[in-house]
Amino acid sequence: MSGLWNPDTPGVLRLPSGRLVRGRGLRRPLPDGPAPAYAVHLLGTRPPEVPWEARWLRWPDFRLPADPADARTVLREVWERAAGERVEVACGGGRGRTGTALACLAVLDGVPPGRAVEFVRRHYDRHAVETPWQKRYVRRFPGGPGGR
């Protein structure tokens, strides 16, 4: 499909269902290729505007989301939209918060919570999910298809 990521693009994670989500660090230059249709920025302060649809999820560096219920809602929306759109999840460096969010998406996609960090480290970035509390957050994230 032309509206989805190329699975061979750096930073693109293929979930078990086949959904593709790009993770990236906002401090790095925008990668070549198509822009996302929708992005979620995981930052402690409001991000700059971008020319595509984007949402800010307040999530300070090395921490957890400021509003866990909002995070569940936003990540569920990312998972749903990734079925047919180019969706991106991004924080400053692209590893800790982004890796944690990607691991939560893996849980929503059916990966057991206790294996989701390993899944993201194997298929996205071996340094993803940086802190013990981020790992614990993933283990406790509500799972099942779409988190229902």
pLDDT digits 0-9 by tens, 1-34: 358 999 999 999 999 999 999 999 999 999 999 9
Q: What is the pLDDT of residues 49-90, one digit of tens each?
A: 999 999 999 999 999 999 999 999 999 999 999 999 999 999
pTM: 0.94
Angle between helices 132-139 and 116-123 (to 10 degrees): 120
- The H or E element containing residue 116 is helix 116-123
- What are the residue boundaries of the structural domains of the chain, listed by start? 12-141
Query: Which residue type, as a one-letter code, is found at position 127?
Result: H
pLDDT value at position 145? 58
Superfamily (CATH H level) for 12-141: Protein tyrosine phosphatase superfamily (3.90.190.10)
